[in-house]
Amino acid sequence: MTRPHEVLEAATVAREVHELAPDYRALLVVADGLTPGEGTDDELLARAEEHACSLLAERPVEELPHVAAWRAAYRAFGAKPQRTRNSLEALTRRAPDGLPRVNRLTDVYNAVSVLHQVPVGGEDLGRYAGAPRLVRATGQERFDTAAGGQDVVEHPEPGEVVWCDDAGVTCRRWNWRQARRTQLHEGTGTALFILDALAPMTDAALGAAADDLVEHLSALGPSVRTWRRLLAP
């Protein structure tokens, strides 16, 4: 695996993506030295569920400021937000009935996503091939997923915004669905997290979300080290 700081230095956002959303920023965080293990932080998830309930008591999920911004971004590249919801909207909708309990790394970033109202993705960096890139797809890229209980390979729509590495797509439709190949799991020791921001989210709020994420990750091993990089226009 490439060293964490080299992954961050080589990460890119294509010009075509910034032309689509000039205010888009990605804050990348790498955590190394995570101790593999099971378990979850039910208290953190409960806080996120309570926060979502308080937000949804005031307005519908589609009117929450950052959710609305992401709905507009999805429409800009041809996706229908009613059918393929960005990860922030999907989690916020689900939270009142209980957030999923997947594994401790996934549960941490899902909770941070809801608490700070920012889409967050997590990847096993040990399964990466090269550096992360956010591009508009040609439609030929490989995306490994599951359908009907079977492993399948799909391809993004031409022009779709996707995160990818040298082996294929790691996340479709910006922050909609992650590939199985790079999913976090109980044995992950080095992880990459991507926090996606559009206006009205400020750089300060984005940084605060990353700080909160790092604080919780640092509790997952005695030798955890983190690095971060902001990709902005």
Measured CA angle at 109 (ends 107, 115), to 5 deg: 100
Give the residue among 97, 53, 89 at the shortest CA–CA distance from 72. 89
Return the exposure string of 47-62: e unless at least 16 CB atoms fall within 10 Å of the residue's CB, then b.
Answer: ebbebbeebbeeeebe
Show the 3-state SS of the chain.
CCCHHHHHHHCEECHHHHHHCCCCEEEEEEEECCCCCCCCCHHHHHHHHHHHHHHHCCCCHHHCHHHHHHHHHHHHCCCCCCCCCCHHHHHHHHHHHCCCCCCHHHHHHHHHHHHHCCCEEEEEHHHCCCCCEEEECCCCCCEEEEECCEEEEECCCCCCEEEEECCEEEEECCCCEECCCCCCCCCCCEEEEEEEECCCCCHHHHHHHHHHHHHHHHHHCCCCEEEEEEECC
pLDDT given for residue 2 in this prediction? 62
d(CA 80, CA 138): 19
Q: How far is CA 193 from the centre of its chain?
A: 6
How many other β-carbons are positioned within 10 Å of the β-carbon of residue 176? 22
How many other β-carbons are positioned within 10 Å of the β-carbon of residue 113? 28
The residue ranges of every structural domain in the chain are 4-231
d(CA 218, CA 158): 39
- State pLDDT tens for residues 79-138: 998 889 999 999 999 999 999 999 999 999 999 999 999 999 999 999 999 999 999 999
Q: Is the pLDDT confidence value at 4 over 90?
A: no
pLDDT given for residue 115 in this prediction? 98
pLDDT given for residue 41 in this prediction? 85
- State pLDDT tens for residues 161-203: 999 999 999 999 999 999 999 999 999 999 999 999 999 999 9
- State pLDDT tens for residues 35-67: 877 888 899 999 999 999 999 999 999 999 999
Backbone angles phi, psi at 100, to 5 degrees: -65, 150
| Residues above pLDDT 90, as percent of the chain | 89
CATH 3.40.50.720 fits 4-231, yes or no: no
Cβ neighbours for 59, distance < 8 A, ≥ 6 positions apart? none
Per-residue CA distances from 153 to 48, 65, 138, 174, 179 (Å): 33, 34, 16, 18, 10
Token pair for 77: 């590249």
Cα dihedral 169, 172, 175, 176 sign: negative
Give the residue among 55, 52, 35 at the shortest CA–CA distance from 103. 35
